[in-house]
Amino acid sequence: MKNEVLAKFDDRNDPHGITRRRFFMGIGAGALGATASGGTVVFMQYLEPNVLFEPPTKHVVGVPEDYPITSVVSHPSIRVYVVRTPRGFFALSAICTHLGCITRWNEQAGQIQCPCHGSRFDSSGRVLAGPAPRPLDHLLISLADDGRLVVDVAVVVDPEYVLRV
């Protein structure tokens, strides 16, 4: 009698082909396979170098003869103003120090103006009006060996820095 009861619950005698045991074994094997595949993908990504490709920070902005004395020339593609004074050249960041908006040179007013929040700067980057908390950043400008002006947007210099040519 005891064997008859056990035989009733033994899924090896299932006439339909798939048993509960085989079903759960298949689920377990699938879970282990998915885990192994995911682990392999993560391991392969670990072996590859994680390189961050950033744009260059040094940009050629022309030759000194391109800039008349007392001029402010905007280079919107690199977000820089190149200013020439009787003392020499300096470069200003075109990014507003308030919230990072891109400023514009207004020739008629002789000012650099932020179109977003109304900050205004003079041609040397000092704050004239608006919510900007500090002057525009002065960037490194140098003369290359071939006589062209190069601005490095990653190097902030002292506001007194002037390139004499």
Give pLDDT tens digits for 126-165.
999 989 899 999 999 999 989 999 999 999 999 898 888 8
Give pLDDT tens digits for 51-96.
888 888 899 998 999 889 889 999 999 999 999 999 999 999 999 9
Is residue 6 predicted with pLDDT exceeding 60?
no
Looking at residue 52, its pLDDT comes to 81
Looking at residue 123, its pLDDT comes to 87
Distance CA 108, CA 106 (A): 6
Looking at residue 56, its pLDDT comes to 87
Q: How confident is the model at residue 29 (pLDDT cuts 50, 70, 90)?
A: very high
CB 97 within 8 A of CB 134: yes
Looking at residue 9, its pLDDT comes to 54
Name residue, tokens 């009733």: 8
Distance CA 36, CA 34 (A): 5
Distance CA 12, CA 19 (A): 7
pTM (two decimals): 0.68
